[in-house]
Amino acid sequence: MNKIENQKAWFFVLPVLLLVAFNAIVPLMTVVNYSVQETFGDNTFFWAGVMWFEDVLHSERFHAALGRQMLFTFSILAIEIPLGVAIALTMPRKGFWVPVCLVLMALPLLIPYNVVGAMWNIFALPDIGLLGRSLNALGFDYNFTRQPGDAWFTLILMDVWHWTSLVVLLAYAGLVSIPDAYYQAAKIDGAKPFAIFRYIQLPKMKRVLTIAVLLRFMDSFMIYTEPFVLTGGGPGNSTTLLSIDLVKIALGQFDLGPAAAMSLIYFLIILLMSWVFYTVMMRNEAQ
Amino acid sequence: MAKITLKGLRHSYMPDPAKPSDYALQQLDVEWEDGGAYALLGPSGCGKTTLLNIISGLLTPSHGQVLFDADDVTALPPDQRHIAQVFQFPVVYDTMTVYDNLAFPLRNRGVPEADIDPRVREIAEMIDLTDMLGKRASGLTADGKQKISLGRGLVRTDVNVIMFDEPLTVIDPHLKWQLRSKLKELHQRVKTTMIYVTHDQTEALTFADKVVVMKDGQVVQIGTPVELFERPQHTFVGHFIGSPGMNVLPCEVKGGKAFYGDIEVPSWNAAECPDQGGLELGVRPEFVSLSESGIPVEIAKVADAGRFQIVDARRADKSIKLLVPEGTDIPEKHAHLSFAADHTQVYREGWLVHGGQGA
């Protein structure tokens, strides 16, 4: 058998290569470039090796921001995933209310991020906001601009409000794809509602829930606009998540080297965690 | 174990059914003997699955009763009726092992583990899944999964009836036959009533002792495979069962004799029929033969079906099919046909004409 040599086919790949280069590789490489150099202004750069990476990895400030980021991400995952599944389970499978529910669910997803932040900022203001005012009227000492605990509460509540819908829609899609025969068989086998959930609904939702967790993990780990508008990272540094800290370093202090090194570490953390999570979920599947 | 009686059953999916066509099931009165192997046969949309779901309790009929022995179970949910059902698409609990799948119905009913284990192993042996017990159910092939579905029904000792809703739809052709014989063998071993829904006549005729033929929400005939073949009560049964189906020809009865066109055709039940036109004559291709004299026809087509040849003969644009053994000489164009008298019957408005003697 003769192998046909036809390298011209590579030209077909060229447009894609160019596109990817301009929107991903080139910007990423400039970041890599900054991360290994030191500058004293005047557009002169010096080779700095892995200095900035060492600095970032040893910096207390980075550890603290990373810690807050983890806390935030795992809190919202722990709330949004179970809550989303619970809501999806109560949604009707057929009839008039299906589209109504779906549209209602989709609404928060359609609101621009900065609008969400602004909405919740006003909503939660202790003196004039509906939420803040009500909580205070009920006797709670609530002030998200002064008390870190309240700021966190508001931040998480906002994210749950904004993004639980996504989990609901994905879980619902998984649920409606289960054929009736499964429920009928379970009925005949005498399965109780919990057993139906545990052995039919949950396994059938596994794929979409994997996607939901991945999406929510990545999104919440990169979240910027909403907390920036809501609290601006405060009070103090209490809600300064990784992305907010990064912007402070890059644009506030104009420390390009450390900011670039931090970006890359940030990116690698997300990549690594997504990969580990996905691999573990899919390995289970293969068994 | 119980005898199942359906009394005056009607069902409509509409809230206020008025016309007969609003009903998915017309009037039904059927008795299913304890321990029988039944097939429910009919074309798609004839109400087979509706009937099955009414027996299993997934559906409550609009009218009528379902009795298990003397108990009225019409209002009972499936889990209290002690029935089992195998669905068209295999239903297994993916995350469980085969063992856990089989044990599931027992565990749900609070049977102690010590009793579950021997029972599960016994059933696994019966359905040839012993080697697979430790495997995840999701890893099995379609026929393995269908066996699990069936096993979950067999494992319970209180099952009144096992129902199959076209269980071989997704099975590979060469495994269909195996699984079908397995079913038959299992039925002889456990002697549980089984009702097998299908639109495939081969499946129905090989599995069942008695076949219930349905059409448009009505039972047209209940009989053994031989009865369905030899004495179709309705032209539909003649058509639907047999390959090719029964020839149905327009006829008249004069003086107790049947006439097709101007030619007298001997028929066993023509004498029981009053003189009338607009009748039909039914004769299966197996009972039509070439002869020296009789009904003159043109030979239109001959198809070789192995041991038989299917001859398509035409008379006045009406097609008459007949089967002749291989090797028979078939005239090129003109031929004469004769019908076997004791298998040629007269139908009025589709139904077999009954006199003193019936089928």
**Residue-wise pLDDT tens digits, B260-316:** 877 888 888 877 777 776 788 888 888 888 888 788 888 888 888 888 888 888 887
Model confidence at B358, in pLDDT bands (50, 70, 90)?
very low
Radius of gyration of chain B, Cα coordinates, nearest whole angstrom: 24
Return mean pLDDT, chain A: 87
pLDDT in tens, B345-357: 888 888 888 754 3
pLDDT in tens, B201-238: 888 888 888 898 888 888 888 888 888 888 888 888 88
Q: Is the pLDDT of residue B185 over 70?
A: yes
Predicted confidence at residue B354, as pLDDT, reads 75
pLDDT in tens, B97-112: 888 888 898 888 888 8
Residues of A in contact with B85 (CB under 8 A): 184-185, 188
* CA–CA separation, A9 and A281 (whole Å): 37
Nearest of B48, B29, B86, B25 to residue B197 by alpha carbon:
B48
Percent of chain A with pLDDT over 70: 97
* CA–CA separation, B214 and B30 (whole Å): 12
Longest dimension (CA), chain B: 77
Chain B residue with minimum CA distance to A188: B79
Is A189 at the interface with chain B, CB within 8 A?
yes
CATH code of domain A66-253+267-286 = 1.10.3720.10
Nearest of B311, B35, B40, B15 to residue B199 by alpha carbon:
B40
Q: Are B341 and B224 in contact (CB under 8 A)?
A: no
Predicted confidence at residue A285, as pLDDT, reads 65
* Residue B163 phi, psi dihedral angles, 5° rounding: -115, 140
Q: Are B207 and B37 in contact (CB under 8 A)?
A: yes
* CA–CA separation, B310 and B303 (whole Å): 5
CATH code of domain B245-352 = 2.40.50.140
ipTM of the complex: 0.74
Residues of B in contact with A185 (CB under 8 A): 85, 87, 91, 149, 152
Predicted confidence at residue A216, as pLDDT, reads 92
Sorted by where each begins, the domain ranges of chain A are: 66-253+267-286
Predicted confidence at residue B58, as pLDDT, reads 84
CA-CA-CA-CA dihedral for A265, A271, A276, A282, to nearest 10: 180
Predicted confidence at residue B355, as pLDDT, reads 58
Predicted confidence at residue B357, as pLDDT, reads 39
Task: Calculate how close chain B gets to A281, using CA atoms only, in Å.
Answer: 13
Residues of A in contact with B91 (CB under 8 A): 181-182, 185
Q: Are B235 and B200 in contact (CB under 8 A)?
A: no
Residues of B in contact with A204 (CB under 8 A): 94
pLDDT in tens, A76-129: 999 999 999 999 999 888 888 988 999 999 999 999 998 999 999 999 888 888
Average pLDDT for A130-154? 87
Chain B residue with minimum CA distance to A196: B93
pLDDT in tens, A27-66: 888 888 888 888 777 777 778 778 778 887 888 888 888 8
> What is each CA distance from A109 to A95, A104, A188, in whole angstroms?
23, 10, 40
Q: Is the pLDDT of residue B162 over 80?
A: yes
* CA–CA separation, A30 and A37 (whole Å): 11
Predicted confidence at residue B70, as pLDDT, reads 80
Predicted confidence at residue A52, as pLDDT, reads 78
- According to CATH, where is 2.40.50.140 located in chain B? 245-352
pLDDT in tens, B327-336: 777 887 888 8
Flag if A187 and B84 touch (Cβ within 8 Å). Answer: no
In CATH, which superfamily holds the domain spanning B4-13+22-230?
P-loop containing nucleotide triphosphate hydrolases (3.40.50.300)
- According to CATH, where is 3.40.50.300 located in chain B? 4-13+22-230
Q: Are A151 and A158 in contact (CB under 8 A)?
A: no
* CA–CA separation, A168 and A277 (whole Å): 20
Return mean pLDDT, chain B: 84
Flag if A200 and B93 touch (Cβ within 8 Å). Answer: yes
Model confidence at A187, in pLDDT bands (50, 70, 90)?
confident
Please tell me which of the candidates A179, A204, A287 has its beta carbon nearest to residue B136: A287
Q: Is the pLDDT of residue B359 over 60?
A: no
Q: Are A117 and A225 in contact (CB under 8 A)?
A: yes
Q: Is the pLDDT of residue B20 over 80?
A: no
Q: CA angle B104-B3-B27, nearest 5°?
A: 105
3-state secondary structure of B241: coil
Predicted confidence at residue B327, as pLDDT, reads 77
Predicted confidence at residue A284, as pLDDT, reads 67
pLDDT in tens, A261-276: 888 888 899 999 999 9
Predicted confidence at residue A71, as pLDDT, reads 93
What secondary structure, in 3-state letters, does chain A show? CCCCCCHHHHHHHHHHHHHHHHHHHHHHHHHHHHHCEEECCCCCEEECCCHHHHHHHHCHHHHHHHHHHHHHHHHHHHHHHHHHHHHHHHCCCCCCHHHHHHHHHHHHHHCCHHHHHHHHHHHHCCCCCHHHHHHHHCCCCCCCCCCHHHHHHHHHHHHHHHHHHHHHHHHHHHHHCCCHHHHHHHHHCCCCHHHHHHHHHHHHHHHHHHHHHHHHHHHHHCCCHHHHHHCCCCCCCCCCCHHHHHHHHHHHCCCHHHHHHHHHHHHHHHHHHHHHHHHHHHHHHHC
| Of A26-30, A275-279, B68-72, B355-359, minimum mean pLDDT range | B355-359
Predicted confidence at residue A110, as pLDDT, reads 92
* CA–CA separation, B313 and B213 (whole Å): 29
Model confidence at B147, in pLDDT bands (50, 70, 90)?
confident
Flag if A187 and B77 touch (Cβ within 8 Å). Answer: yes
Predicted confidence at residue B356, as pLDDT, reads 44
Q: Could you tell me which residues come within 8 angstroms of residue B259 by beta carbon, excluding any fewer than 6 positions away?
A: B251, B252, B253, B265
* CA–CA separation, B246 and B172 (whole Å): 30
Flag if A188 and B104 touch (Cβ within 8 Å). Answer: no
